[in-house]
Amino acid sequence: MPLNIPHNLPAVEILKKENIFVMDDLRASTQDIRPLKVALLNLMPVKIVTETDFVRLLSNSPLQVEVDFLKMKTHDSKNTPQEHLSTFYKNFEDIRKNNYDGMIITGAPVELFDYESVNYWEELTEIFDWAAKHVTSTLYICWAAQAGLYHFHRIPKYPLERKMFGIFKHTLIDPNKALFRGFDDEFYVPHSRHTEIRREDILRAPGLNLLSESAESGVNIVMSRGGREIFITGHSEYTSVTLHNEYCRDMNKGLPIAIPCNYYENNIPDEKNIKVHWRAHAHLLFKNWLNYYVYQATPFNTDEIASLGKLDT
C-alpha cells in the first residue's frame, strides 16, 4: 500500500519522478482501509525539503500511511512560504484530542542553545508529554532525540570541539531487536551536529536501552518503554546531496566547516564524487519501525493507545 498525503503537496511530484507510488488523499478516499495515522512534527526551517525526506522513507512499506504535518504555534517559520504552512500544516491545538499510531519529531538548528531558552520549549515539551500518552511509537530525530532524552530522563548534552559531520559506521548492540531485522552487522548513518549525548549517561539511566553506536560518532539509537520512544541521533532520512548542500552553504558563508567524513570519493568535495552507502538501511529502519512498532503494536481501537504498556519487540 502507498502513502496517503495531500494531492497537491510538493513531495508528491518529487516522489513520482523517483518511481515511488504515492496515493493522494483524493484516491485514498475511495478505499475502505484504515491507514496508519502518523504525525510529523517538522521543526526544520526549510520544511518542504524535510517533509519530502521523511515521506520518501515512509512510502517504502506495504502499509498504507496517512500523514498529518505539524508545526509549532509559538515559533514563526521564515524559510517556508506561509501559503504552504497554512495549506498543509496543523498546530498542536488542532490535533491534541487525537490518537496516532506513530509520530516523528525532526531535528532543529537550535542545538547550541540551552533547552529552556528555545522559544518554543514549553510547547514542545507539552507535545512530548502528549505523545507519550496518545501515540503508539514516536521517533525523535537528532536534536529532538537530545531534547526528548533530556526532558524524560535528564540526559545532558555536551558541545563538541568540532562538528560531527559526515557518514559514520555503526554497529548493533542488540541485533535481535525487531527494529534491526534485515540489518547488516555494520551500517552507515549521516550525522550533522555540534553536540552529543554520551554513552555512560545512557547506560546509567533507568529505563533506557542503548541499541546501536559508532566508534566515531557515538550514541546512535536509544529506546525506552519497549519502543514507545525511539531516540535517533543521526539523519538516516538525508538524501545523497544533503551534506553536500550543507557544506557548500557554510563555505559560501565563510563559516568554519570541514569536509564531511567518509562522503566524497577521494575526499574531493564535488557532487559527482558523493558515495551513498546509507540509503538501504535507512529505508529498512523506517519500514521496520512502521511494521513492528506502529502497525503490529497499535490497538484495534485507537482510544486504547494511552493505556498501552511496553511493546513486546
Helix (H) or strand (E) holding 313: none
- What's the rounded Cα separation, in Å, for the pair 274 and 64? 33
Class of domain 3-237+284-304: alpha beta
Is the sign of the CA dihedral 23, 27, 28, 33 positive or negative?
Answer: negative
Which distant-in-sequence residues (6+ apart) come within 8 Å of 208 by Cβ? 149, 153, 155, 202, 222, 223, 224
User: What is the structure's pLDDT at 29?
Assistant: 47
Which grid coordinates belong to 136? 503508539
- What's the rounded Cα separation, in Å, for the pair 175 and 148? 24
Residue 124 C-alpha from the chain's centroid? 15
Residue positions annotated with a catalytic role = 142, 235, 237
> Does residue 223 sit in helix, strand or coil?
strand
180: left (phi over 0), alpha (psi -120 to 50) or beta: alpha
> Does residue 34 sit in helix, strand or coil?
coil
User: What is the structure's pLDDT at 1?
Assistant: 44
In the chain, ranges of CATH 3.40.50.880 domains = 3-237+284-304
Helix (H) or strand (E) holding 300: none
77 close to 71: Cβ distance less than 8 angstroms? yes
Angle among Cα 242, 248, 250 to the nearest 5 degrees reads 105
Considering only CA atoms, give the Rg of the chain: 19
The 10 Å Cβ neighbour count of residue 43 is 25
User: What is the structure's pLDDT at 166?
Assistant: 98
Q: Is the pTM for the entire model greater than 0.75?
A: yes
Q: Give, in order, the Cα–Cα distances in Å from 212 to each of 36, 140, 188, 199.
A: 27, 15, 11, 10
Burial class (CB in 10 A: 0-12, 13-18, 19+), 274: middle
What tens-digit pLDDT sequence spans the chain (313 residues)? 455 667 677 766 766 666 565 655 544 444 456 789 999 999 998 899 999 999 999 988 888 899 999 999 988 777 788 888 889 999 999 999 999 999 999 999 999 999 999 999 999 999 999 999 999 999 999 999 999 999 999 999 999 999 999 999 999 998 999 999 999 999 999 999 999 999 999 999 999 999 999 999 999 999 999 999 999 999 999 999 999 999 999 999 998 899 999 999 999 999 999 999 999 999 999 999 999 999 987 654 445 544 554 454 5
Task: Kindly write down the DSSP assignment for every residue of 65-87, as one continuous string.
Answer: EEEEEE--TTS--SSS-HHHHHH
- What's the rounded Cα separation, in Å, for the pair 302 and 289? 18
